Amino acid sequence: MRTHSSIMQIFLIVAICVLLWLKLRPRRPKDFPPGPQPIPVFGNILQLSTTNPLRDLDEMCRRHGNVYSLFLGGRPAVFLHGLEVIRQALVTQGADFAGRPQGLMINHVTENKGFIMADYGPAWKEHRRFALASMKTFGLGKKSMENKILEETRHICNHLENGVGDPVDPAFLIHSAASNVICSVLFGERFEYGDETHALIIDLFKENARVAHGAWAAIYDGFPALRWLPLPFQKVFKNCDFMKKHIRGVVERHRSSRAPGDRRDVIDCYLDEMEKSKEDGRLLDEERLVMMLLDLHFAATDTTANTILSGILYLATHRDIQARCQREIDEVLAGRSSSGVSFEDRHAAPFLMATLHETVRLANIAPLGVFHAATRDARLQGYRIPQGTLVITNLNSVLSEGPHWERPSDFYPPHFLDHNGRFRKPEAFLAFSAGPRVCLGEHLANMELFVILVSLLRDFVFVWPEDEAPDLAPVFGGIQSPKPYRVTFRPRRH
């Protein structure tokens, strides 16, 4: 009798577990993209590497096709793989997938303001228009912006000349320079490289990027019940609060010192427009200004700096490519002073342009882009994507797709040269995404990459330490970066 009772108890426990499993297991909506079977609570998260899931995503694509779905906790996400599908979603159906997902850690940190993570709508459109117009006012695409970059390049070169002959980690110099270029536009000033507050903000940007695109952010996004616990993701909120407080102070100083109509920088432009908006109902306010400034400062610092650092790394470890670039630079800049580098020189330097674009491709700074969301119920490749669904574009799959690149895993500038040696940009070069949410700072990033690297290549040879084996694999993240390295900048003899 006791044995029979024990069997019944075991049977009842098993039955309850099965029912709970069936009840809690995430289910794909009708006509939703296929994918691996999720498990309760975790979804498919346990099937992805915490250090670098890109290979796992490639395997998912091989099994389920170029449009597939995973559950991140209980939340469904659609992954897009390959040039054809991503261009269809971002360009052909750009308005359908121009949204930003809601309810993630990055939304809560930014309070859905600014414009990087702001959802597609009137406020986002207003701020993107403003950001483009004000950046052009203060030099985007003009000689004045080029001069700002050249000024920072001179500071980099002076620091390198003071430590000539010794291997150095260039990360601090390059991050400081990239930050100063955008600071001169946003705040009307640059900072000395030893400025403690400026250095701290750059460090906070890097720390937030590391946490926000790592495992702790996935835990925050996938398991809402854990959000109030004192776990490492709380550091992101603390860092952002500090930076917002700092920016509010800068805005307040501008308000007290400005003369209406005398626009010194982006802050003055916004304050002028904000006063006008009281009359015409535009969606401008001080908190949106603070978040927009942080968006622009972060985006123009971390991504640009990591791309330039990747370029130095690749050229130091590919001396033949470095030497060919320097020969072309010497020909193009023959007879000019050391301050004579111009962005216009790119038209006469096809191999150099190919090398810089190959740097951007291989560095692959944002391998999964910025996450999108469906703005309305949409269909893609025959699948139904409900409004609000998280959509992730695997840009890594485009930048490393075999059919589009002869040697996708190598640093190979001829990817961007035609059979006559002229520079060309393949259709698969989607490093800055595409469509309505294409990267706002693409032109500025290209200008900085060209002016800074050409200036450094003209004056120095990048020498890799003989006793160290290079590791070109980046540190995975929403924003990837090269692993820390040291290189010697040896002055060239002209």
Q: Which residue has the tokens 């690749």?
A: 314
Q: Please state the separation of Cα 82 from the chain's center in Å.
A: 19
Residue 337: pLDDT band by 50, 70, 90 thresholds?
low
Residue 477: pLDDT band by 50, 70, 90 thresholds?
confident
**Span 252-301, pLDDT tens digits:** 999 999 887 788 899 999 998 888 876 666 678 889 999 999 999 998 99
- With a cut of 60, say whether residue 385 has pLDDT above it: yes
Query: In whole angstroms, what is the distance from residue 193 CA to residue 176 CA?
Result: 6
Min mean pLDDT across 29-43, 153-167, 206-220 is at 206-220
Residue 8: its pLDDT value, please?
57
Q: Which amino acid is at 406?
A: E
HEC secondary structure over the chain: CHHHHHHHHHHHHHHHHHHHHHHHCCCCCCCCCCCCCCECCCECHHHCCCCCCHHHHHHHHHHHCCEEEEEECCEEEEEEECHHHHHHHHHHCHHHHCECCCCCHHHHHHCCCCCCCCCCCHHHHHHHHHHHHHHHHCCCCCHHHHHHHHHHHHHHHHHHHHCCCCCECCHHHHHHHHHHHHHHHHCCCCCCCCCHHHHHHHHHHHHHHHHHCCHHHHHHHHCHHHCCCCCCCHHHHHHHHHHHHHHHHHHHHHHHHCCCCCCCCHHHHHHHHHHHHHHHCCCCCHHHHHHHHHHHHHHHHHHHHHHHHHHHHHHHHCHHHHHHHHHHHHHHCCCCCCCCCCHHHHHHCHHHHHHHHHHHHHHCCCCCCCCEECCCCEEECCEEECCCCEEEEEHHHHHCCHHHCCCCCCCCHHHHECCCCCECCCCCCCCCCCHHHCCCCHHHHHHHHHHHHHHHHHHEEEECCCCCCCCCCCECCCCCECCCCCEEEEECCC
Are the C-beta atoms of residues 58 and 89 closer than 8 Å to each other? no
Residue 10: its pLDDT value, please?
56
- With a cut of 90, say whether residue 50 has pLDDT above it: no
Are the C-beta atoms of residues 389 and 373 closer than 8 Å to each other? yes
Q: Taking CA 361 as the corner, what is the angle to CA 359 and CA 365, rounded to the nearest 5 degrees?
A: 90
Are the C-beta atoms of residues 487 and 313 closer than 8 Å to each other? yes
- With a cut of 60, say whether residue 16 has pLDDT above it: no
HEC secondary structure over 89-128: HHHHCHHHHCECCCCCHHHHHHCCCCCCCCCCCHHHHHHH
Query: In whole angstroms, what is the distance from residue 371 CA to residue 259 CA?
Result: 40
Query: In whole angstroms, what is the distance from residue 69 CA to residue 63 CA?
Result: 11
**Span 400-409, pLDDT tens digits:** 988 899 999 9
Residue 291: its pLDDT value, please?
93
The answer to whether 439 is a known ligand-binding residue is yes
Are the C-beta atoms of residues 369 and 392 closer than 8 Å to each other? yes
Taking residue 471's Cβ as centre, other Cβ atoms within 10 Å add up to: 11
Q: Which domains, ranges and CATH numbers included, belong to the chain?
A: 113-364+400-491 (1.10.630.10)
Q: At what angle do helices 196-212 and 234-257 cross, to 10 degrees?
A: 140
Cα–Cα nearest to 391, from 98, 46, 124, 34: 98
Residue 322: its pLDDT value, please?
98
Task: Using a cut of 0.85, tell me whether the model's pTM lies above it.
Answer: yes
Supply 160's token pair: 């390198």
Are the C-beta atoms of residues 321 and 359 closer than 8 Å to each other? no
Residue 332: its pLDDT value, please?
92
Are the C-beta atoms of residues 302 and 207 closer than 8 Å to each other? no
The pLDDT of 198-206, averaged and rounded, is 91
- How far from 135 is each of 85, 260, 271, 437, CA to CA, in Å? 32, 19, 15, 17
Cα–Cα nearest to 54, from 366, 351, 356: 366
- With a cut of 90, say whether residue 223 has pLDDT above it: no
Are the C-beta atoms of residues 446 and 374 closer than 8 Å to each other? no
Residue 466: pLDDT band by 50, 70, 90 thresholds?
confident
325 or 108, which is more confident? 325
The rounded percent of the chain whose pLDDT value lies above 90 is: 61
Query: What average pLDDT is seen over the chain?
Result: 89
**Span 343-382, pLDDT tens digits:** 999 999 999 999 999 999 999 999 999 999 999 999 999 9
Handedness of CA 417, 423, 426, 430 (dihedral sign): positive
Taking residue 313's Cβ as centre, other Cβ atoms within 10 Å add up to: 24
